[in-house]
Amino acid sequence: MAQEHGAPAGDRCAREADHGACVVKNKLQLLVRRAAANILNDYTPPTLGCSEELLAELEAATRFGPAGSEWARFAAEISNALRRNGTEQFLRLPPIAKTLHSRQRSHTRRYLTYLLASKRFSPTIHKALTESPVGKPLVNPHYPLSSPLLVQHGYHLTRLLESTDFDLSRLRLVVEFGGGYGSFFRLLRNLGYRNRYVICDLPVMCALQRFYLRNVFPTEPGAQPPANLQWWANDDYGGLRQEAAQHSPSLFVATWSLSETPPTVRSGIAAVVGLFSYILCAYQRTFGSYDNVQYFTSLQQTLPHFNWQHAECPVYRNNFYLIGQNTRGQGM
């Protein structure tokens, strides 16, 4: 039998046997995790209210923008899925799941490893990561009390705390550009935030957020979402400028949202974000033909009055964080 790099044949066989055992062990662990995930995720979600209001809003959202536009088609796809399947498991419906949290399950373990090693990941944040069963979100066997997306939001917040002197108890305004289904708002509210919160999004997403938050924070049948929350479904960036000027300290959040918009939207936002006290952006390297690294580097350079942390995410390859703190004393 030939020898490999001068090693005895017996050593080579032992290495191959060890490798084979390791492969078998990893496959068994994967099967156990999948079985655990199936068991954990087979739970009965609560019955939800305000379903008719949601469907009416989605019907209106199909008329948003040019006929046949991508977001009008998306609204129609969601509306049809909800009418066929009901609303109780809406977070698992394919058109919603693939848009809002399609890539996060495989990263949960690494996010948790980072969080548990961070000095800024407090027991209070840890407790706030407990997920709600509303909409039947997927849970992960690595941390069954939470969902992959909520764990990622805890990671966003921890990175902000590590990079700046951010203090949620002093914050007066949050503007979230692209609000998902309302999970980040829920996290901050569960951490005690009650001041002004604005979500800028398209009508179809605003409808989903209102529906989720009405059910996750119910006070009475048909209750409205929390009173401190407002939606903007337009491009009135002058209004956002006024918000930032009137309420401080302030936080601008855009995680995988601004990086998925056309140049006209980006240019409007760039003229506003420099007024905020803190900026938290996460983005992918490219989106279609857009070079996002170039765009966010340019944004950073146009705001020299911020202290910046701009680096690739250690958990999520080819994705980046741009986190800034205003040094002009705006709201601080």
The pLDDT of residue 229: 94
The pLDDT of residue 4: 45
Q: Distance (Å, rounded) from C-alpha 74 to C-alpha 189?
A: 29
Fold entry, domain 51-326 = Rossmann fold (3.40.50)
If we measure between CA atoms, which residue out of 309, 289, 329, 260 comes closest to residue 74? Answer: 260
C-alpha of 82 from chain center: 22
* Integer-rounded Cα radius of gyration of the chain: 22
Q: What's at 95, amino acid-wise? A: P
The pLDDT of residue 208: 94
Q: Is residue 216 exposed (0-12), middle (13-18) or buried (19+ Cβ within 10 Å)? A: buried
Segments in the chain below pLDDT 50: 1-4, 220, 331
The pLDDT of residue 330: 55
The pLDDT of residue 2: 43
- 95 to 74, 98, 147, 284: CA distances (angstroms): 8, 6, 18, 21
Q: Where are the domains of the chain?
A: 51-326
Pairing of β 319-326 and β 306-312 = antiparallel
The pLDDT of residue 14: 54
The pLDDT of residue 310: 98
The pLDDT of residue 1: 42
Q: How many residues does the chain have?
A: 332
Dump pLDDT digits (tens) for 148-170.
Answer: 999 999 999 999 999 999 999 99
- Which residue is listed with tokens 């250690």? 314
C-alpha of 279 from chain center: 15
The pLDDT of residue 103: 57
The pLDDT of residue 163: 97
